[in-house]
């Protein structure tokens, strides 16, 4: 039978987008479907650590070795997504000397560069470290923007002919006998969403081969075709601080546990994390005590955190996979390695494989392995080049640096833009002399040109614009810029679409603040509410009902 696509990838996280890119570069016809925005699952809810492998150097050396190999590759192919912060595994008085020695030996066994520093030397690097930190191991950890990297993979996949369909939820696998030949998806009914299909409709997409890269949701997808995929979702909380209390990744040098890492990320610091198994990756409790634990425990490493301002918290779900027969009860003991499940070999059902487990740092290696597997199934003779080919935004960085003045990229705002856009900066930021490029988001220094570039990619979905630009992700959490972002949709979209997009973005920004409402952040939240309630009647007070708003009167300026 004729198929709509050769390979259908389910899941728009890092692994799914990486698979789509890899296969598309090899010349395979690929379609990717994702039920929400790209990064809508685990990828968009991580702490932003680019692993050196140090965290696994004692407990899981195979994973540690994979991490340092992929760490070095991502620094080269995704330089505009990576900040080379370095990392420290710090030892407090109550932490084991034996474990410190095991960590150091494990790093060296796995090829992870590791240097022992005294407490004084560690505090010279990070002055706010606790005075009782005795010593530390320095490793090449980094910080990575998962949104930017995932979108870059999707963009490159599209450049090579792939179809990327967001807001397309898989509602059934198409199976005939012992063969899976596609999926049925339901397209999001929201107006203005970037989609190739009519919103609110369902569509059958047939394929020669299906790849299930849905992470913590892989079991749910498999069940649609009566396949048992024993993913064990494990939730973890991350808490975001208003500034970077540290500029280096700080890890606690002890066996894996809760609240043991601080990751400097863009303008913030992210505290993490917990590890608790849950039944449903979409429905689990988000509790205040988890946030309190992050702050109280990590303040032992960096005391100023205790008095700092928390701007939001979020929870993510890890797609842990335990091979049958291992019987591990504690999720922290489950390997972070990944597994490729060929359902033809394993279950006698052809046409689909699933990839489960793993972690963000090794997404490219995971994509390479499954792309090799799929190409072998299809008889495609083409090798993987994703370890050498830079992602969009990371090409010709050196050339860009030499010509920065000609694009006006030496101002602080433009430098932030350049960090996000990388080698795409000249194309996006160069405007004609009569065209204004005001700052739309003051906290993150996002300009109109970046917003418009993101709208070109994602349509009216302002949360998709957000992950591409970081607009609304700073200290005010959208209080001062959400409406400016919405103004940038006019006149391309009608008034109701603009209003709906604004509501959706503002609600998403509010959601993460519910567990941070004390002290200065409570004041910020009340200010945001007052601004939106009084200037736009967002609380729908009938006494203040405005006349029809003409969005053309606003220019979106700061």
> Residue 397: its pLDDT value, please?
57
| 335 has a pLDDT exceeding 80 | no
Tokens 């005075």 belong to residue: 131
Higher pLDDT, 30 or 506: 30
- Same-domain status, 102 and 124: yes
Residue 54 C-beta-side C-alpha neighbours within 13 Å: 33
- Same-domain status, 256 and 184: no
Higher pLDDT, 541 or 110: 110
The mean pLDDT value for 484-493 works out to: 94
Structure tokens at 198: 């009519």
Structure tokens at 8: 């259908």
Domain count, the chain: 3
- Same-domain status, 546 and 467: yes
- Same-domain status, 139 and 153: no
Asked if the structure places residue 100 within a domain, the reply is yes
> Residue 407: its pLDDT value, please?
47
533 contacts 539 by C-beta, under 8 angstroms = yes
| 466 has a pLDDT exceeding 90 | yes
- In 3D, which of 513, 421, 437, 406 has the Cα closest to residue 470? 421
Asked if the structure places residue 224 within a domain, the reply is yes
How large a percentage of the chain has pLDDT more than 90? 76
- Same-domain status, 351 and 469: no
- pLDDT, one tens digit per residue, over 171-226 is 999 999 999 999 999 998 655 555 566 777 899 999 999 999 999 999 999 999 99
> Residue 548: its pLDDT value, please?
47
- pLDDT, one tens digit per residue, over 293-325 is 999 999 999 999 999 999 999 999 999 887 766
Residue 193 burial (10 A CB sphere; 0-12, 13-18, 19+): buried
Question: What CA–CA distance (Å, rounded) separates 519 from 521?
Answer: 6
The mean pLDDT value for 501-524 works out to: 90
| 15 has a pLDDT exceeding 80 | yes
Q: How sure is the predictor about 51, in pLDDT bands with cuts at 50, 70 and 90?
A: very high
- Same-domain status, 300 and 214: no
Hey, is 172 helix, strand or coil? strand
- Same-domain status, 436 and 532: yes
> Residue 29: its pLDDT value, please?
98
467 contacts 194 by C-beta, under 8 angstroms = no
Hey, is 9 helix, strand or coil? strand
Question: What CA–CA distance (Å, rounded) separates 84 from 188?
Answer: 38
Distances (CA, A) of 228 to 44, 146, 181, 279: 26, 29, 18, 15
- Same-domain status, 198 and 267: no
Structure tokens at 299: 């303040």
Structure tokens at 471: 């607009």
Asked if the structure places residue 324 within a domain, the reply is no
- pLDDT, one tens digit per residue, over 127-174 is 999 999 999 999 999 999 999 999 999 999 999 999 999 999 999 999
* pLDDT, mean over the chain: 90
The mean pLDDT value for 32-39 works out to: 96
Asked if the structure places residue 70 within a domain, the reply is no
List the CATH number of the domain containing 21. 3.50.50.60
> Residue 432: its pLDDT value, please?
55
| 439 has a pLDDT exceeding 60 | yes
- Same-domain status, 108 and 218: no
- pLDDT, one tens digit per residue, over 352-399 is 999 999 899 999 999 999 999 999 999 999 999 999 999 999 987 544
Highest mean pLDDT among 68-72, 413-417, 538-542: 68-72
Asked if the structure places residue 485 within a domain, the reply is yes
List the CATH number of the domain containing 128. 3.30.9.10
> Residue 194: its pLDDT value, please?
57
Question: What CA–CA distance (Å, rounded) separates 551 from 349?
Answer: 54
Asked if the structure places residue 401 within a domain, the reply is no
Structure tokens at 420: 């996000």
DSSP assignment of 348-370: S-BSEEEEEE--GGGHHHHHHHH
Residue 285 burial (10 A CB sphere; 0-12, 13-18, 19+): exposed
- pLDDT, one tens digit per residue, over 240-275 is 999 999 999 999 999 988 999 999 999 999 999 999
| 556 has a pLDDT exceeding 50 | no
Strands 231-241 and 202-212: unpaired
- Same-domain status, 307 and 374: no
Question: What CA–CA distance (Å, rounded) separates 506 from 120?
Answer: 44
Asked if the structure places residue 205 within a domain, the reply is yes
Weakest mean pLDDT among 341-345, 535-539, 546-550: 546-550
Contacts of 285-291 with CB under 8 Å at 24 or more apart are 286/237, 286/313, 286/315, 286/515, 288/515, 290/237, 291/237, 291/239, 291/515, 291/516
> Residue 198: its pLDDT value, please?
72
- Same-domain status, 456 and 516: yes
H or E element that contains 16: helix 14-25
Asked if the structure places residue 200 within a domain, the reply is yes
The CA-based dihedral angle spanning residues 463, 466, 468, 473, taken in that order and rounded to the nearest 10 degrees? -140
| 549 has a pLDDT exceeding 60 | no
Question: What CA–CA distance (Å, rounded) separates 107 from 9?
Answer: 35
Indicate the DSSP class of residue 410.
T
- Same-domain status, 436 and 526: yes
> Residue 553: its pLDDT value, please?
44
| 21 has a pLDDT exceeding 70 | yes
> Residue 544: its pLDDT value, please?
55
Range of the domain at 256: 82-143+233-317
């Amino acid at each position: 039978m004729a198929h709509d696509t050769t390979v259908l990838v389910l899941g728009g996280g890092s692994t799914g987008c990486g698979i789509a890119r890899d296969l598309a570069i090899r010349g395979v016809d690929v379609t990717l479907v994702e039920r929400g925005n790209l990064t809508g699952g685990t990828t968009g809810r991580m702490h932003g650590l680019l692993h050196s492998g140090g965290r696994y150097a004692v407990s899981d050396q195979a994973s540690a070795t994979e991490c340092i190999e992929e760490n070095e590759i991502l620094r080269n192919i995704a330089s505009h997504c990576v900040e080379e912060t370095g990392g420290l595994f710090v030892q407090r008085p109550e932490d084991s000397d034996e474990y410190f020695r095991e960590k150091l030996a494990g790093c060296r066994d796995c090829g992870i560069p590791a240097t022992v520093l005294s407490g004084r030397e560690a505090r010279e690097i990070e002055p706010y470290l606790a005075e009782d930190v005795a010593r530390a191991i320095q490793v090449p950890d980094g910080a990575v923007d998962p949104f930017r990297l995932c979108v870059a993979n999707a963009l490159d996949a599209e450049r090579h002919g792939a179809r990327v369909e967001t807001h397309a939820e898989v509602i059934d696998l198409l199976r005939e006998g012992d063969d899976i030949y596609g999926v049925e998806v339901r397209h999001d009914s929201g107006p203005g969403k970037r989609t190739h299909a009519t919103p609110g409709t369902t569509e059958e997409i047939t394929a020669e081969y299906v790849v299930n890269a849905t992470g913590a949701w892989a079991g749910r997808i498999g069940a649609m075709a009566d396949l048992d995929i024993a993913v064990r979702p494990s939730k973890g909380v991350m808490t975001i601080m208003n500034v970077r209390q540290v500029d280096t990744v700080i890890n606690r040098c002890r066996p894996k546990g809760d609240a043991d890492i601080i990751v400097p990320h863009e303008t913030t610091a992210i505290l993490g994390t917990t590890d608790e198994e849950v039944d449903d990756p979409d429905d689990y409790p988000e509790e205040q005590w988890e946030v309190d634990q992050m702050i109280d425990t990590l303040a032992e490493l960096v005391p100023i955190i205790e008095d700092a301002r928390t701007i939001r918290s979020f929870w993510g779900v890890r797609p842990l996979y335990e091979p049958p027969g291992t019987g591990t009860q504690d999720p922290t003991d489950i390997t972070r390695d990944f597994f490729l499940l060929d359902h033809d070999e394993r279950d006698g059902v052809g046409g689909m494989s699933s990839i489960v487990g793993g972690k963000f740092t090794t997404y490219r290696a995971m994509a390479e392995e499954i792309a090799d597997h799929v190409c072998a199934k299809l008889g495609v003779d083409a090798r993987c080049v994703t370890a050498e080919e830079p992602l969009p935004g990371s090409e010709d960085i050196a050339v860009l640096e030499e010509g920065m003045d000609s694009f006006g990229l030496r101002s602080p705002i433009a430098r932030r833009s350049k960090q996000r856009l990388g080698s795409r900066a000249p194309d996006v930021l160069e405007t004609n002399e009569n065209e204004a490029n005001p700052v739309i988001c003051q906290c993150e220094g996002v300009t109109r040109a970046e917003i418009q570039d993101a709208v070109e990619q994602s349509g009216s979905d302002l949360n998709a614009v957000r992950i591409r630009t970081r607009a609304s992700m700073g200290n005010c959490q959208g209080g001062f810029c959400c409406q400016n972002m919405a103004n940038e949709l006019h006149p391309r979209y009608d008034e109701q679409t603009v209003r709906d997009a604004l509501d959706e973005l503002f609600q998403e920004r509010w959601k993460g603040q519910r567990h941070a409402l004390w002290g200065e952040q409570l004041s910020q939240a009340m200010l945001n509410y007052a601004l939106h309630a009084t200037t736009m009647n967002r609380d729908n007070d009938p006494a203040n009902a405005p006349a029809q708003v003409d969005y053309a009167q606003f220019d979106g300026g700061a």
